[in-house]
Structure 1
Amino acid sequence: MKFEIEGRAREISLEAAVIAGYTGRDRKAVDAHIDELAEQGIAPPATVPAFFSISPDTLTFAEHIEVLHMETSGEVEILIVVDNGEAFVGIGSDHTDRRTERLDIGVSKQLCRKPIGHELWPLETVQDRWDELHLASDISISGVRSRYQEGLAATNISPMELLEMVPFEVRPKRYVLFTGTIPVMGGIRHADRFDGSVTDLAQGRSLRLSYEVLVQNWLDEG
């Protein structure tokens, strides 16, 4: 995939992609969230944090993705992209099939494309103020846009700690790690459009992501 780093194009042939879940620093809050999901029929994870492998082919720079039904949704996440020992910060959306999530979280992570942004920052340029990075997302439903998520990176485990926790059998040289999301406002819901941002307030710069969600199912399932 061709990324842009400090104004220069860089091709990174990703070997692996991993999604981290339940990455909150407050373990009591994480446990409470797990209990809430259990009430919805979603099984608790085997480990906390939990890690799910997906194919790098699911990652996309496209401005739209296609899904098969209305029970899908995105969530803004900071990415760590590793290329031969160098680490970079990016933005992505862990767009997930919520219907399948109730049956198998790991499978649900593989069923939707994962939109990501082109631009990356060297991790070293934000590492000393990581907790201050601001995450936000908006969703649009029938043309009405509303704030969906907002919070700080301090909510979740720090990137260097999380990178060491990934249970790789053999650590690849080039991979991407989704580092976890922040709570949504008003409950998880499907939207026609998703807009996300990660903002470095100290430098006045942002990583941005926007995509439309198209429901494409030509079969009568009634």
Structure 2
Amino acid sequence: MRLAFDIAGVAGAGALDIDISALVIAGWAGRDRHAIEHHIEELAAIGVPRPSTVPLYYRVSDSLLTQAPRIQVVGGESSGEVEVFLFQAGGELFVSLSSDHTDRKLETVSVALSKQVCAKPVARQAWRFAEVAGHWDELVIRSHIVENGARVVYQEGRLAALQPPLDLVAGFTGGAATLPEGTAMLCGTVGANGGIRPAVSFTMELFDPRSGRTLGHGYDIEVLPEVA
């Protein structure tokens, strides 16, 4: 899947077009065991079985990636999850933002299949990983949904709550702390305030408190009828 990013940072601004041929979603990626258990229980509340081990690496189709402002889903039981989006290009690691939009009804049957049936929205901006690696734990991921006509905070947490990104990469590659060219990874999420639930729109951001910079993206969800 071809993606286009605007790159901004200390090393200068520019545009980057890349072809993603492999997409990996790191699930159950919390750093704190209590936080992992909270997310497991959060999903168990809607019928999702416990994972066999943590973290898990789900392979899904790269064709699910989209930078469009709207996605379509079948039925009204899907929802987004804000996650860091890592990718390698030209020998350099970059950081962007994505939503692991997931069909929650299908998730009770198979987590892997539930991740395969929904598009994965991706932001159009990215940072060089090297520019934020030294204060990675201070970065904040946050998402909002529109609920009853009001915009509410759906998720919010520092990346200190999640596994260090290079550890996740090494766990997937078998030891190498770098992603292969053309591979992208979603790096885990934080719990939902008030529990997991659908919404008509989803906005997300990655905030760097040291520089004041923010990566952001939003999308609307169009629900298609579930017919039999």
TM-score (norm 2): 0.90
Residue 7 of structure 2 aligns with which residue?
5
Counterparts of 1:47 and 1:88, CA distance in 2: 28
8 Å CA contact 1:58, 1:113 repeated in 2: yes
Query: What is the alpha-carbon root mean square deviation over aligned residues?
Result: 1.8
Residue of 66, 69, 89 corresponding to 1:83: 89
TM-score (norm 1): 0.92
Superposition deviation, residue 173 in structure 1: 2.0
Establish whether residue 154 from structure 1 lines up as the match of residue 156 from structure 2: no
SS class of match (2:116): coil
Evaluate the alpha carbon distance shift between residue 36 and residue 75 of structure 1 in structure 2; reply closer, same or farther with a 3 A threshold: closer
Residue 200 of structure 2 aligns with which residue?
192
Residue type of the partner of 1:215? V
8 Å CA contact 1:75, 1:93 repeated in 2: yes
Question: Where in structure 2 are there 5+ consecutive unaligned residues?
Answer: none
How many residues are matched?
Answer: 219
Superposition deviation, residue 45 in structure 1: 1.6
Counterparts of 1:15 and 1:75, CA distance in 2: 22
Superposition deviation, residue 68 in structure 1: 0.9
What are the within-5 Å matches in structure 2 for residues 90-129 of structure 1?
Answer: 90-129=96-135
8 Å CA contact 1:85, 1:173 repeated in 2: yes
Question: Where in structure 1 are there 5+ consecutive unaligned residues?
Answer: none
Superposition deviation, residue 144 in structure 1: 1.8
8 Å CA contact 1:155, 1:182 repeated in 2: yes
Residue type of the partner of 2:31? R
8 Å CA contact 2:154, 2:193 repeated in 1: yes
SS class of match (2:19): coil
